[in-house]
Amino acid sequence: MCYETSLTKKLAAIEKHTGAVMRYPEVYEPWYHLSGFSHPTMFCIPIDEPAVILPMEWGLVAPWGEDVLKFRKKYNTLNAKAETLLTSKMYSEPVRERRCLILADGFFKPHYEKLSGPSQPYYCYLEERKLFSFAGIYNTNDHDFWTCSIITKEADDFFAVIHNKKKRMPLVLDPDFEGEWLNPDLKDKGIEEVLANSFMREPFIVHPVTRDLYKRGIDTNTPEILEKVGGNTNLFEE
């Protein structure tokens, strides 16, 4: 699963990195910690307009979800499991027709020292906190209203140590596969191959951050939220 992300870059840096232009630059602002449960705006490059960055509300809404609030009370669509995408009533059409790149420069995963106890959040990012893309899918439910989901898959050995309870990870696309994910001619076999083989080749860096992430009423959209705190920094030596 992946329910919390960061995107701290300035707009000019994002456009330079992606080669795409933000369609509504006035709505963009960087964030240090964003929780999907508030259904915030993500910034995404869609399959049908790969030169454009669009704002998409996090939490895909199905065509039958005309009452968005009612739909979201029933369904959690922040993430879509790679293993069932092509057979899912909710996600099979979007994954075939409406794939996207969801831009970020970090995400947060919970680690449990004791599986029955509280979790310690870890911040996950690339060297120099470089931009990357989650594999995503989206729907358009109304004019200029897009909703999206981040695709997740079974954790690899590295992320299974961090997210040691459910052992899931978001599908962060290696740059070599970003264009393929947006290829409109991609068929089911090609989709399966990308889902299986496209995870970021560059190693991730992780460190523990404050548990204030989980507290209500606290502003977590600050640079301090990304700072390393006391915690187990030797997960891979256990």
In the chain, the domains with their CATH numbers are 4-237 (3.90.1680.10)
CA angle 102, 155, 213 (to 5 degrees): 60
Please tell me the distance from the alpha carbon of residue 72 to that of residue 156, in angstroms, as a whole number.
Answer: 30
pLDDT category of residue 217 using cuts at 50, 70 and 90: confident
Question: Pairing mode, if any, of strands 205-208 and 119-125?
Answer: antiparallel
Phi/psi at 170 (nearest 5 deg)? -70, 150
- Helix or strand (DSSP H, E) at 182: none
Percent of the chain residues past pLDDT 70, beyond the cut = 97
Please tell me the distance from the alpha carbon of residue 87 to that of residue 97, in angstroms, as a whole number.
Answer: 14
Q: What is the pTM of this model?
A: 0.96
By the 10 Å C-beta count (0-12 exposed, 13-18 middle, 19+ buried), 175 is classed as middle
Copy the structure tokens of residue 25. Answer: 């630059």
pLDDT category of residue 236 using cuts at 50, 70 and 90: low
Average pLDDT value for the chain: 94
- Helix or strand (DSSP H, E) at 70: helix 68-74
Phi/psi at 150 (nearest 5 deg)? -90, 135
Cβ distance 173 to 134 under 8 Å?
A: yes
SS3 of 226, please?
Answer: helix
pLDDT category of residue 232 using cuts at 50, 70 and 90: low
